[in-house]
Copies of this chain bind each other. A is one copy, B any other.
Amino acid sequence: MVKEFKIPDATIERVALYLRPLEGLMERNIRVVSSEKLADMCNVNPAQVRKDLSFFGEFGVRGVGYEVNDLLREIKRILASDREWRLGIVGLDDMGMALVQHKDFQQRGYRFIAAFDSDSRKIGKSLPNGLVIQPLSMIKQAAKELRIEIGVITTDAVEAQRVADLFFEAGIMAVLNFSPVHLRKPECCLVENVDFTLNLDHLAYELNRIG
């Protein structure tokens, strides 16, 4: 496929944010949306929406808005979310269980195809989606056979680096990390951290200001 020029990370993050409202509009058969409306749905300003979308080509009709269907298709194509991605997860406590059952993941094409845990009591058990929990020693083989593309880590901080290293050694280039630790990684690999306490910190800061 033709490689796109590099779009700024902040733009990519905001554009991903536009997907869900656009899907909502599609479901309600609304065909055109203004930058003002879309901005309002995403809590950003309209000028920002127009600037972000300008990276993706000419969709807007001045004074009218954007064709929802076209815009959605193009955003999905650019974000590569128009295809299925194959996920492996390590750590099947509550957080892991919540993730493998998360409807959004499936709807967006993120499919868990392998599950691992270091707890021997969990190994061999079946998840609601039919996956059987495997030991960590199976990561390398499973990664190859099942072509796992993204590794998800929900272990505690102590175990997370070891799991990340196993993923990287198995040729998995991207990791979504829910554990509260900064992961070392090879230059070529990608790590995204999820940390809910940052969201709480933000709320606390704002509450403190207005309080």
**Interface residues, chain A, CB within 8 Å of chain B?**
3-4, 6, 9, 12-13, 16-17, 19-21, 24, 41-42, 78-81, 85, 93-95, 97-99, 101-105, 108, 110, 149-150, 173-174, 176, 180, 182, 188, 190, 192, 194-210
Q: Which residues of B contact A13 (CB under 8 A)?
A: 198, 202
One of B21, B80, B182 near A207 (C-beta < 8 A): B80
List the B side residues contacting A102 at CB < 8 Å: 95, 196
User: Taking A98-B95, A101-B94, A180-B104 as contacts, is the C-beta distance between A194 and B199 under 8 angstroms?
Assistant: yes
21 A-B contacts (beta carbon < 8 Å): A4-B209, A12-B201, A12-B205, A16-B197, A17-B198, A20-B180, A79-B204, A80-B207, A81-B201, A85-B200, A95-B98, A98-B98, A102-B196, A105-B196, A105-B197, A108-B197, A149-B207, A150-B204, A176-B203, A188-B210, A192-B203
Which residues of chain B are near A194, meaning CB under 8 Å? 194, 196, 199
**Inside 8 A of A105's CB, which chain B residues have their CB?**
196-197, 200
A6 cross-chain contacts in B, Cβ below 8 A? 209
Chain B residue at minimal CB-CB distance from A178: B196
Query: A108 contacts which chain B residues (CB < 8 A)?
Result: 197, 200-201
